[in-house]
Amino acid sequence: MSWNFDETRPLFQQIVERITVDVVSGKYKAGDKLPSVREYAVEAGVNPNTMQKALSALEESGLIVTQRNSGRYVTENSALITDYRKSAALKAACDYIEFTKSAGLTLEEAIEVLKEAGSK
């Protein structure tokens, strides 16, 4: 999956979001070792300092942990990962509801659209 960035938002914030999605989606599982700052920076096409800032933010959140002389790993706290997964789903649902309201759909119609999309 390529790293496409929105020029109107801070890069480090988008990197945080991308890596968070990679964790909650299962691309990186609890306890998995993450690429180094330099590897990630090359892959994303960003400055290593930007990547370092993003990884530091993820570490502060608890989603990743640093093991001295060994690198960064996804937390083994599965409850935290589940909380992030639910939070991401809630945000997506709220964005969807906001969109459907602005398009003039009722909540019931929006739910029907979801059911239809889910059955495809």
Q: What is the CA radius of gyration of the chain?
A: 17
The residue whose two tokens read 């809630």 is: 90
From the candidate CATH numbers 1.10.10.10, 1.20.1250.20, 3.40.50.970, 1.10.3720.10, the one assigned to the domain spanning 11-76: 1.10.10.10
Q: Find the DSSP H helices in the chain.
A: 11-24, 37-44, 48-61, 78-102, 107-118
Alpha-carbon span 100 to 96, nearest angstrom? 6
In the chain, where the domains are located: 11-76, 79-118
pLDDT tens digits, one per residue of 14-47: 999 999 999 999 999 999 999 999 999 999 999 9
* Beta bridge pairs of residue 73: 33, 65
The pLDDT value given to residue 38: 95
pLDDT at 86 over 60: yes
**Contact in structure between 52 and 97 (CB atoms under 8 Å):** no
- Would you call 110 helix, strand, or coil by DSSP? helix
Residue 1 has pLDDT above 80, yes or no: no
Residue 68 binned pLDDT confidence (cut-offs 50, 70, 90): confident
Q: Indicate the pTM of the whole model.
A: 0.80
